[in-house]
């Protein structure tokens, strides 16, 4: 085998709570992460030496700033690999969006290189390499529906969420995750998220209603930086999408719903007035 293609799925956060700021500057979180069908496609090719990245996306870095590059670097170092890898990233997930686009590419490189080069690294080793690359990368290795704690790397896989439609809208502005977390520390966001109850709703396959307390504590922060988040959210709620939230550190806003609203969503996409937004209808993705 000289090449391998892997799908790299995006994620949304069904809720995100921050417990506290840690000594190392990161934050201890409690969140549910959910894979969605929107994905990049990563093709890995064996080459003689080094790491090369090619992509269809004009703004994506192709050097060490790309998490996929870092992932390949870590794998090569870990096993002392005497070959190199070329990585082609067919980018569909918007970048700097709160959808773990960079993290999922990195996870796919880790999984993919393990297979392509017959490295036989076990789950624990893959997880530890993934965590070196970023807090969201361990989740992206397996994906599905998971309750994530600590920096996001401690994962408890939940009963897969029943299939939902997911409407994603991302305004054109970029937002730095680090800046959002730093600003969070300056605000006093007083919000209690009923974590146990929300996990039970997923585990019992009950309907998800926003009034049950689903919330992302980073949303009020990002809204201060990107006013479009509120504009988009209001438009979606006014159209009848009650379960509408920001994902991760944003600025992507999503609505999640079952089949009854699918035509409403298609019409909304057709008539969406903000020409520079990225807008797509996708669905939740589970792997078992
Ligand atoms: O881990 P990652 O590099 O993806 O995190 C990006 C930034 O997000 C970090 O530099 C940190 O500021 C913030 N972060 C955090 N606590 C987490 C995850 C991320 O403060 N649990």
Of the listed ranges 22-26, 147-151, 190-194, 254-258, the least confidently predicted one is 190-194
- Whether pLDDT at 100 is above 80: yes
Gap from CA of 40 to ligand 1 centroid (Å): 22
- Residue 151 CA, closest ligand 1 atom number: 21
Q: In whole angstroms, what is the distance from residue 287 CA to residue 275 CA?
A: 34
Q: Does 73 have pLDDT greater than 80? A: yes
Report the CATH fold assignment for 3-157: Ribosomal Protein S5; domain 2 (3.30.230)
Q: List the one residue out of 197, 190, 203 whose CA is nearest residue 146.
A: 203
Nearest ligand 1 atom to the CA of 178 is: 12
Interval between CA 261 and ligand 1 midpoint (Å): 35
Calculate the CA 145 to chain-centre distance.
Answer: 12
Minimum-distance ligand 1 atom for the alpha carbon of 135: 1
Whose tokens are 């991302």? That residue is 170
Task: Check residue 260 and give its pLDDT.
Answer: 80
Which protein residues touch ligand 1 with a CB less than 6 Å away?
26-27, 29, 134-136, 151-152, 177-178, 181
Tell me the best of 178, 185, 217 to mutate to test the pocket of ligand 1, counting ligand atoms within 8 Å of each CB and taking the most: 178
For the CA atoms of 226, 175, 11, 78, what is the dihedral angle to 10 degrees?
A: -170
d(CA 123, ligand 1 centre) in Å: 23
Q: Where in the chain is the domain with CATH 3.30.230.10?
A: 3-157
Closest CA to ligand 1's atom 8: 178
Nearest to 168 by CA among 223, 209, 229, 219: 229
Ligand 1 center to 154 CA (angstroms): 14
- Residue 18 reports pLDDT greater than 80: yes
DSSP string, 129-174: HHHHH-TTHHHHHH-SEEEEEETTTEEEEPSPPPP-EEEEEE-S--
Which residue from 22, 72, 16 is spatially nearest to 44, judged by alpha carbons?
72
Q: Which residues pair with residue 257 across a beta bridge?
A: 165
Q: What percent of the chain has pLDDT over 90?
A: 96
**What CATH code would you report for 165-283?**
3.30.70.890
Q: Whose C-alpha lies nearest to ligand 1, atom 13?
A: 178
Q: Is 45 exposed, middle or buried (0-12, 13-18, 19+ CB in 10 A)?
A: middle
Residue 279 has pLDDT above 90, yes or no: yes
pLDDT score recorded for residue 259: 79
Q: State pLDDT tens for residues 160-182.
A: 999 999 999 999 999 999 999 99
Say what the pTM is. 0.97
Is the pLDDT reported for residue 288 higher than 80? Answer: no
Minimum CA distance residue for ligand 1 atom 12: 178
In this predicted structure, the answer to whether residue 284 has a pLDDT above a threshold of 80 is yes
Residue having the nearest C-alpha atom to atom 11 of ligand 1: 178
Q: Where are the domain boundaries for CATH 3.30.70.890 in the chain?
A: 165-283
Task: Let me know: does 137 contact 208? Beta carbons within 8 Å.
Answer: no
d(CA 99, CA 103): 9
In the prediction, which pLDDT does 250 show? 96
Q: What's residue 276's pLDDT?
A: 96
User: Catalytic residues, which ones?
Assistant: 11, 136
Ligand 1 pocket mutation pick from 64, 101, 135 by most atoms within 8 angstroms of CB? 135
> Atom 3 of ligand 1 has which residue's CA nearest to it?
134
Calculate how far, in angstroms, residue 265's C-alpha sits from the geometric centre of ligand 1.
33
Give pLDDT, residue 188: 81
């Amino acid at each position: 085998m000289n090449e391998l293609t892997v799908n790299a799925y995006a994620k949304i956060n069904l809720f995100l709570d921050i417990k506290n700021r840690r000594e190392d500057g990161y934050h201890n979180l409690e969140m549910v992460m959910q894979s969605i069908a929107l994905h990049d496609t990563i093709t890995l090719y064996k080459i003689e030496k080094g790491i090369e990245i090619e992509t269809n996306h004009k703004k994506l870095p192709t050097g060490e700033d790309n998490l996929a590059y870092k992932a390949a670097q870590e794998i090569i170092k870990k096993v002392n690999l005497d070959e190199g890898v070329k990585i082609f990233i067919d980018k569909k997930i918007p970048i700097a969006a709160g959808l773990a686009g960079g993290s999922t590419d990195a996870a796919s490189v880790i999984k993919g290189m393990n297979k392509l080069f017959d490295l036989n690294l076990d789950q624990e080793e893959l997880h530890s390499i993934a965590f070196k690359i970023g807090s969201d990368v361990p989740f992206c290795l397996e994906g599905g529906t998971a309750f994530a704690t600590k920096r996001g790397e401690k994962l408890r896989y939940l009963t897969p969420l029943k299939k939902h439609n997911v409407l994603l809208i991302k305004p054109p502005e970029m937002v730095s995750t680090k800046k959002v977390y730093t600003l969070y520390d300056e605000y006093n966001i007083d919000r209690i998220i009923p974590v146990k109850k929300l996990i039970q709703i997923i585990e019992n396959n009950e309907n998800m209603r926003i009034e049950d307390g689903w919330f992302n504590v980073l949303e009020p922060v990002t809204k201060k930086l990107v006013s479009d988040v509120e504009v988009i959210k209001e438009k979606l709620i006014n159209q009848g999408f009650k379960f509408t939230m920001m994902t991760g550190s944003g600025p992507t806003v999503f609505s999640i719903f079952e089949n009854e609203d699918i035509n409403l969503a298609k019409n909304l996409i057709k008539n969406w007035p903000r020409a520079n937004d990225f807008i797509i209808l996708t669905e939740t993705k589970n792997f078992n």
